[in-house]
Amino acid sequence: MSGISARPEVAKTARNATLGIAIALGLVYLIWGSTYLSIRFADETLPPLLMGGIRFLIAGGLLFLWCRMRGIAIPGWRQWKSAGIVGLCLLAGGNGTVIVVEQQVPSGIAALLVALVPLWTVVLLWLRRSGTHPTLRTLAGVALGLVGVGVLALHGGGVGGQGINPMAFLLILSSGVWAWGSLYAQRAELPTSPLMSTAVEMLVGGAALMLLAIVTGEPGQLAEHAVSLKSLIALGYLIVFGSIVAYTCYTWLLKHAPPALVSTYAYVNPLVAVLLGWKFAGEVVTIWTLISSAVIVCSVALITFPRRRSVAAAPALPANESQGTSSGPMAAVSGPRAQ
C-alpha cells in the first residue's frame, strides 16, 4: 500500500514543479521583455551611461552582499579577471549600447536587433580555428535573420514607418560583442557560484559605464530637479526586477527545465518589447515592423532549436551572466538581458 500512497505525492510534486517552471518562465518573458521599455523611460531624464553604471553597481553590490551572507567565498584574481571581461562585453559593450541607442531608437526595434545574437554566435563559432561548420538549417536561419534586418532597415523602424535610425546598427555590432563575451564565458575560469559570477560581472560592467559617464561629462549634465519620478521608478525596476529577480528565475529554470524550453525567451522577449513599446510609449508599429519581427524570430528559432535538441537530454548547466549567459552550447542566445 505504501507504493499506492506515494503516487499522489509524486503527482503533487510533478504538478508543483510544472507550475514553478510556468511561473518562472512567465516572469522571464515579461520582465526581460519589459526592460527595453524601462530603459527608454529611464533615458528620458537620466544620462544613459550614468544610469547604466548606477543600475549595475547597485544590483551587483546587492548580489555580492547576498552571496557573502550565504558564505560564498570571494573569487580569486583569475576569476575576477575572467568575470570582468564577460561583464565588459555583456554589460558595458552590449547593454551599454542598448541604453545609449534607445535615446533615438524605439525600444521594440532595439529588442529585435539584440535578438540577432544567435546569428553572431554561429559566425563566431565558424571562425574559430577548430570551428563548427554550420548546418544548412543554421545557414538558412542566418540568411533569414539578415532578411529581417533588411526589411526593418528599409520599412519598419522609424517614425511613420520609415527606415531605422543609423545608430540602431550599433546594436548589431554590440550583439557581436555580447556573443563573443558569452562564448568566452564558456571556457573562462569564472566563480563557481552563478550568483557571485553575476555580481562580479555587474560590478565591473557598472564601473566601466560609470567611468565612461565621467569621461563624457554626464554627471555635470544631471540636474537633480529635472529627473522625473518615472525615470527613477524605471531605474528601480531595472535594478530589482531586470537585474535580480529575472536572473534568479532564469538560473532556477536552467536547473529545472529543458534547455529548449528555457531558450524560448530569446524569441518571446522581442515580441513583448514591441507590444509594450506600442501600448505604453506610443511607438509606431507598422505591418513591416510585424513582418520583420516574425522573420527575425523565426530565424532565431531555426538557429537555436537544432542545437538545443542536441543537448535536450543533458542536464542544464549553471548560468554565468548578467541577465542570462548560460554555460551551454548556445550561451549567447541567453542574452537579454538581460537586460
Res 309: pLDDT = 43
Higher pLDDT, 331 or 296: 296
For 234, the domain range is 28-333
Give the mean pLDDT of 68-84: 95
Res 57: pLDDT = 97
DSSP state of 318: P
**Residue written as grid cell 547593454:** 95
Res 141: pLDDT = 87
75 in a domain, yes or no? yes
Distance CA 31, CA 245 (A): 9
6 in a domain, yes or no? no
Higher pLDDT, 311 or 265: 265
295 in a domain, yes or no? yes
Res 134: pLDDT = 82
Task: Show the CA angle centred on residue 273, arms to residues 23 and 257, nearest 5°.
Answer: 30
Residue 190 has pLDDT above 80, yes or no: yes
Give the mean pLDDT of 248-261: 80
DSSP-based three-state secondary structure for 319: strand
Percent of the chain past pLDDT 90, that is, above it, reads: 42
151 in a domain, yes or no? yes
What distances in angstroms separate CA 170 from CA 34, 140, 207, 284, 302, one per listed residue? 21, 24, 22, 21, 24
Q: Do 135 and 306 meet the contact criterion of CB atoms below 8 Å apart? A: yes
41 in a domain, yes or no? yes
Residue 94 makes CB contacts below 8 A (sequence gap 6+) with 114, 174, 175, 177, 178, 181, 335
pLDDT bucket at 236, cuts 50 / 70 / 90 = very high
Distance CA 117, CA 336 (A): 10
For residue 209, how far is the Cα from the chain centroid?
Answer: 17
Res 324: pLDDT = 40
Ranking 93-107, 201-215, 299-313 by mean pLDDT, the lowest is 299-313
Distance CA 165, CA 158 (A): 7
What distances in angstroms separate CA 238 from CA 34, 113, 234, one per listed residue? 9, 20, 6
Residue 261 has pLDDT above 50, yes or no: yes
Res 224: pLDDT = 67
pLDDT bucket at 157, cuts 50 / 70 / 90 = low
Ranking 47-51, 64-68, 120-124, 166-170 by mean pLDDT, the lowest is 166-170
Q: Each residue of 3-52: pLDDT tens digit?
A: 555 566 666 667 777 888 999 999 999 999 999 999 999 999 999 999 99
7 in a domain, yes or no? no
Q: Pseudo-torsion of CA 88, 68, 186, 96, nearest 10°? A: -20
207 in a domain, yes or no? yes
Residue 133, judged by CB atoms within 10 A of its CB (0-12, 13-18, 19+), counts as exposed
22 in a domain, yes or no? no
HSE on the CB side for 304, CA within 13 Å?
27
Distance CA 283, CA 40 (A): 11
Number of domains the chain is built from: 1
φ, ψ at 326 (rounded to 5°)? -75, 165
Residue 105 has pLDDT above 70, yes or no: yes
Distance CA 213, CA 66 (A): 27
